[in-house]
Amino acid sequence: MECPHLSSSVCIVPDSAKFPNGSPSSWCCSVCRSNKSPWVCLTCSSVHCGRYVNGHAKKHYEDAQIPLTNHKKTEKQEKVQHTVCMDCSSYSTYCYRCDDFVVNDTKLGLIQKVREHLQNLENSAFTADRHRKRKLLENSSLNSKLLKVNGSTTALCATGLRNLGNTCFMNAILQSLSNIQQFCCYFKELPAVELRNGKTAGRRTYHTRSQGDNNVSLVEEFRKTLCALWQGSQTAFSPESLFYVVWKIMPNFRGYQQQDAHEFMRYLLDHLHLELQGGFNGVSRSVILQENSSLSASNKCCINGASTVVTAIFGGILQNEVNCLICGTESRKFDPFLDLSLDIPSQFRNKRSKNQENGPLCSLRDCLRSFTDLEELDETELYMCHKCKKKQKSTKKFWIQKLPKVLCLHLKRFHWTAYLRNKVDTYVEFPLRGLDMKCYLLEPENSGPESCLYDLAAVVVHHGSGVGSGHYTAYATHEGRWFHFNDSTVTLTDEETVVKAKAYILFYVERQARSGSEKL
């Protein structure tokens, strides 16, 4: 939006302002010393944490307004308002009086000057940090600072994703998908598509909703983001170009409010699938899928047209079987799926933690059984029987006709009660290895002994009480190690920590080699 308060609130000049040392994205709040979501006031250059940490940036603005409300306003007080601040990670600007993000600038272009200055500080800090790491590598004492895995020494090369303003839902999904190797490798091997030329070539752009550029490719920006992860060249990557494309082609996700990670994942996969079907710039990218021998025709599941890598990896087929309770007529329908949404059975909904004593422990198998068990449809879901020629009571049962290469399981933790969407905070036990899906198959006798076993690749977790609030993080395994992805922060973790998580989305990868691991 066009903010009218910039002339009275943006006062700092980058060359003379006293900024903290180090990279702006890691600056600490001057009150609580937290380095998460730092914001710099464009009036006095003080740094405070954002409203989703401890909210000291907003409190700084509110404290500055007290003299203006309790006393007679002087000319100086009218000019200095501390209402505009800048995110030190994404460089987006926010006005507390307008309560919205700002897209305009002052007549002297001070906001852009501050933005460029912060970016220069960030780049300088990154260069210095890279030089420091190079020195460490040259030092023989590095061996004690590196991580030992299976007797060998390796360096932590994971890259985080910066939060652009409540984009943790997107970051958690992107980190999970980046650790599904076959899916990630396909996109990383795609040829690059250059979308910018002329004056904008090679320059970093700051997109806003008001821009009318339709020449965007979700596949290309998704490819660039995946390529930036796991290179080890930076600690955090800012996916603003991908987020801009999301705004352009997925209107539901415009703005900076919290979103549902599962809903975003479905929109993302659907749009990737559609764009891959049509190609980009006249070049069909299904050719690469056809050339990839590991994604054979027998593994493809078509959804809305031709198969792509999305359906080849995530696509499965359900058989929906409905029986009329009056005449016994049976109706069968086959439905393709990219993920399965599982209810948490009502008898387990008071079990909040793994160690809680009251009540039985809910397992992923309980949720799968609830999904596939025979169910009698209620009065609001009467079946139109073609033999009876009217709506009748009936039963419904799901069978899995074809399992996907990557099984995505969504636990339905959010449900509507009256006017509120509440969260089911039940702990659901899930296996790290050997999830056996054979008993849920329509024809289990036709499957091999190993073809129904799945091992966990990633978990998305929602922290908080509601879908419109809280925070998303992800756990994922990479080359035998488990990592915790919390926006720009990536830490090594262990299996004991992963299995205690209250999973929201689980990504299981089909097992390729025979193992002696226990089954679920």
35-57 burial, b if ≥16 CB within 10 A, otherwise e? bbbbbbbbbebbbbbbbbbbbbb
421-448, pLDDT tens digit by residue?
678 888 999 999 999 998 888 776 666 6
What gap in Å lies between CA 401 and CA 334, rounded to an integer?
8
Q: Which of 50-59, 99-108, 277-286, 403-412 has the lowest mean pLDDT?
A: 277-286
387-426 tens-digit pLDDT: 888 888 888 888 888 999 999 999 999 876 666 667 888 8
pLDDT, position 53: 82
Q: Pick from 43, 34, 142, 35: which is nearest to 85 by CA?
A: 43
Phi, psi of 323 (to 5 degrees): -120, 130
Residue 93 has pLDDT above 70, yes or no: yes
Which whole number is the average pLDDT over 465-485? 88
| pLDDT given at position 284 | 46
Three-state DSSP at 499 gives helix
Report the distance separating Cα 344 and Cα 508, nearest Å.
18
pTM score above 0.75 = no
Domains of the chain: 6-66+80-125 (3.30.40.10), 162-191+216-273+304-315+404-514 (3.90.70.10)
Contacts of the segment 292-296: beta carbons below 8 A, 24+ positions apart: 292/186, 294/182, 295/182, 295/186
Tell me if 349 sits within 8 A of 340, measured CB to CB: no
pLDDT of residue 488 exceeding 80, the answer is yes
Q: Whole-angstrom Cα distance, residue 239 to residue 237?
A: 6
The set of catalytic residues is: 168, 471
Cα 410 from Cα 487, distance rounded (Å): 21
Write the pLDDT tens digit of every residue in 323-361. Answer: 888 888 888 888 899 999 999 988 887 656 555 556 678
Q: Is the pLDDT of residue 30 over 70?
A: yes
CA-based nearest residue to 171, from 218, 240, 224, 231:
240
